[in-house]
Structure 1
Amino acid sequence: MNIQLTLKRYCIQTAAKKKYEHSISLYFKQKSPSDHPKRIHFEKEIENLKFFLENADFGQIRSNYVELNGKKK
């Protein structure tokens, strides 16, 4: 699964948190039976983002990849 994060204003951790929260919001907006495929997509996205947020070493990521630290040059 490919999950795109917006890193223009935020570091990698904040961007992932925002995407996680947004995905949860969109998940609960899918109410009709025809929305079932979308709900499945969001379930997988939420699961992957949760794993990333719980297991990534964000300090190391930000120090090794300056472009992911959220600071403008």
Structure 2
Amino acid sequence: MNLADLTLDRWCALDLPTARRVARQAAEATGGRLVAVERSDGDRCPRARIDWQGREFALVPGVSVRPVLEV
């Protein structure tokens, strides 16, 4: 799967092995390292955590974000 085509609905439909592969691609594309991909009972979507420069980030496919720093 091409990362550019990854939407939230597609992400939620993936099984864990495929989600791990896709999350690893996303981590490598950003210079990060995949920490974990997990899904708890009742969760709609897998959760992926990526370490980038010592900080953990969540993979949220298909969603635009605007970083905000609150002081």
Q: Do Structure 1 and Structure 2 share a fold, with TM-score over 0.5?
A: no
Q: Which has the higher helix share?
A: 1
TM-score, normalising length: structure 2: 0.31
